[in-house]
Structure 1
């Protein structure tokens, strides 16, 4: 049996909670909360897939609950629909500022409620799939037995795997944002390497491999054989280069 999505309904008026629950319970597992504090507890305990959140509540209003959810790493991608009797432009802007994904007016229209919940959950499932695939790729990248460095079209380092940091003597995030050429390439080779990479990110072909002496953080040097590949977005535009390197120094006597 397919697992049903969980929808958390938050409103300090029990009748409204029950009515929205009635509209949704045939398709979703419905969870109820009657104030902001209880809503945050239910999110933590039950891990809903979507939240229907009333704006006007006495202890903690919906804006504050939404802000907390959208600024937490664990819940930043949790869809939130703000449900409100307020119709002013400023109220909607405030909701957008705290990260609300959608808005529903009171009294709630059944068709509108069901349609928006279904639409946002479809988007969430796509995001979940993409994040899972991205995490799998990053885990593979991180555990690879070779040096791997991703640079953008400005030749700034965006990502370094564990092997890369270990081989070059850097802490986990220390190289992020640094210029690849100025930081890692020997001074007498920098102009040639920069010209080669700048040509690559505008479409020039890449060689099968290249061998370069790389400077480590402590000033020591290692010889690395690089296998470079272009990174492209869905439209085929070049977004950077992934530099995969084999440390040849370990084979030297």
Structure 2
């Protein structure tokens, strides 16, 4: 039997925190917070599964808190429900822009609150399962000894396996979002490989069977790698990025 999900309730008015906690405490572990900064601290220490976040708070408003959470690799998939007395279209758009997953109006309706929380947590559990399966697959690749990068359509790094991070001396999330060409390749190679990648992504040509070239570790050291690159495609056959799997050849030199 799994532990109860944790719901972080954030509002500078204690009565509102207690009321929403009362609505949810029979099914969830409730974590209270009364300011934006306290909310961020509780996210780190308590690892909640969902956040009910007030918009209007004096020190750091809910939009700012949500922006911090949704721009962090570690918390970008954490569901955030904005709870607000504001009802204007612009306020909702602002919430969407910072990554809010749902909205609830004040005063909070008990049935609506319970339904939204249950629905978002169901989605989160599915995401967690998918991520766990992906991580298990990546662990197999680590054991096999390959460096793995997943690049998006802009050649930005979406994923690196632990083998790649270890060989290149980077932290777990340090490379995510960086331009692969500018960050990982010596300058003399960038134009040629950029052309190969971009032509493959638009279907103009195929990627070579393999490519041998150096990549840069964090300290600037060059590591020679044999790369086997494949264009990733969705169910309709449209390119979505590139999977780069590489074998570290420096260990044989």
The answer to whether the aligner puts 1:28 opposite 2:25 as a matched pair is no
Q: TM-score, normalised by structure 2?
A: 0.67
CA RMSD of aligned residues (A): 4.5
- CA contact 1:160–1:175 (8 Å) conserved in 2: no
d(CA) in 1 for partners of 2:164 and 2:127?
Answer: 29
The answer to whether the aligner puts 1:176 opposite 2:180 as a matched pair is yes
Q: Which runs of 5+ in 2 are unaligned?
A: 216-223
What is the CA-CA distance between 1:157 and the residue it aligns to? 9.5
Report the 3-state secondary structure (helix = DSSP H, G, I; strand = E; otherwise coil) of the residue aligned with 2:180.
Answer: coil
d(CA) in 2 for partners of 1:247 and 1:60?
Answer: 46
d(CA) in 1 for partners of 2:70 and 2:240?
Answer: 28
d(CA) in 2 for partners of 1:4 and 1:34?
Answer: 22
What is the CA-CA distance between 1:32 and the residue it aligns to? 0.9
Q: Which runs of 5+ in 1 are unaligned?
A: none
What is the CA-CA distance between 1:126 and the residue it aligns to? 1.7
d(CA) in 1 for partners of 2:15 and 2:78?
Answer: 25
CA spacing shift, 1:239–1:39, aligned 2, 3 Å: closer
d(CA) in 2 for partners of 1:59 and 1:157?
Answer: 35
Q: Equivalent residues in 2 for 1:43-122 (5 A)?
A: 43-122=43-122
Report the 3-state secondary structure (helix = DSSP H, G, I; strand = E; otherwise coil) of the residue aligned with 2:127.
Answer: helix
What is the CA-CA distance between 1:79 and the residue it aligns to? 0.9
CA spacing shift, 1:28–1:247, aligned 2, 3 Å: closer
2:40 equivalent in structure 1: 40
d(CA) in 1 for partners of 2:59 and 2:48?
Answer: 22
**How many aligned positions are there?**
236
CA spacing shift, 1:51–1:176, aligned 2, 3 Å: same
1:8 equivalent in structure 2: 8
Displacement over 6 Å in runs of 4+: 147-154, 156-167, 170-175, 198-201, 226-230, 243-248
What is the CA-CA distance between 1:55 and the residue it aligns to? 1.1
Residues 159-218 of structure 1 deviation map (CA, whole Å, 9 limit, x = unaligned): 887989999xx887799348x9x959xx9xx9xxx7xxx79996x999xxx688x4557x
2:234 equivalent in structure 1: 233
1:126 equivalent in structure 2: 126
Q: Considering only CA atoms, is the larger Rg found in Structure 1 or Structure 2?
A: 1
